[in-house]
């Protein structure tokens, strides 16, 4: 099981604006500290943590953060509308478009996805496979 994912950011304030435009809508709560941003899903008292956590931090080695070529983090949305809404909110919060929300011929008929880059260049996917919604035709 993946326990956490960390992406690097040189400008934590810009990263906070971007990620706070989408992660709270997916249920993540933010904790800020001197080491960066920590987003976690809530757990009831006595319940094990709901994983994975998502961290946004400066690079540990002190050098500039960089996006990994071929690396991507995907977040599941409740439905296609939420994918569209969060994609738009993330763009308005400083992200860049890497693929408008929609179906992709190379994926399953219900995989609805939009792609973004955060302000640092990290690739993010927002997707839904909600079986109650229409799938890709053809």
Here the CATH number for the domain that contains residue 18 is: 3.10.180.10
Band (pLDDT 50/70/90 cuts) for residue 137 is confident
Based on the structure, what is the number of domains in the chain?
1
- The whole-angstrom separation of Cα 119 and Cα 29 is 20
Among 121, 136, 131, CA closest to 64: 121
pLDDT at residue 138 greater than cutoff 90:
no
Q: pTM for the complete prediction?
A: 0.93
Q: Is residue 138 part of a domain?
A: no
User: What tens digit of pLDDT does each residue of 80-131 get?
Assistant: 999 999 999 999 999 999 999 999 989 999 999 999 999 999 999 999 999 9
In a domain, 48, yes or no: yes
Domain, as residue range, for 119:
4-128
Listing DSSP states for 89-118 in one string gives: HHHHTT-EEEEEEEE-TTS-TT-EEEEEE-
Q: Are 80 and 127 in contact (CB under 8 A)?
A: no
137 lies in some domain: no
Dist. CA 78–CA 127, nearest whole Å: 8
Residue identified by tokens 């509308």 is: 81
Give pLDDT tens digits for 25-56: 999 999 999 899 999 999 989 999 999 999 99
């Amino acid at each position: 099981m993946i326990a956490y994912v960390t992406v690097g950011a040189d400008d934590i304030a810009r990263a906070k604006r971007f990620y706070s435009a989408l992660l709270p809508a997916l249920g993540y709560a933010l904790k800020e500290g001197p080491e960066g941003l920590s987003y976690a899903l809530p757990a009831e008292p006595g319940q094990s943590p709901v994983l994975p956590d998502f961290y946004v931090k400066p690079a540990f080695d002190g050098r500039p953060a960089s996006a990994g070529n071929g690396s991507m983090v995907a977040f599941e949305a409740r439905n296609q509308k939420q994918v569209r809404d969060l994609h738009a909110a993330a763009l308005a919060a400083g992200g860049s478009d890497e693929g408008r929300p929609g179906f992709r011929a190379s994926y399953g008929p219900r995989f609805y996805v939009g792609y973004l880059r955060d302000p640092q260049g990290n690739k993010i996917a927002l997707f839904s496979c909600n079986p109650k919604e229409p799938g890709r035709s053809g």
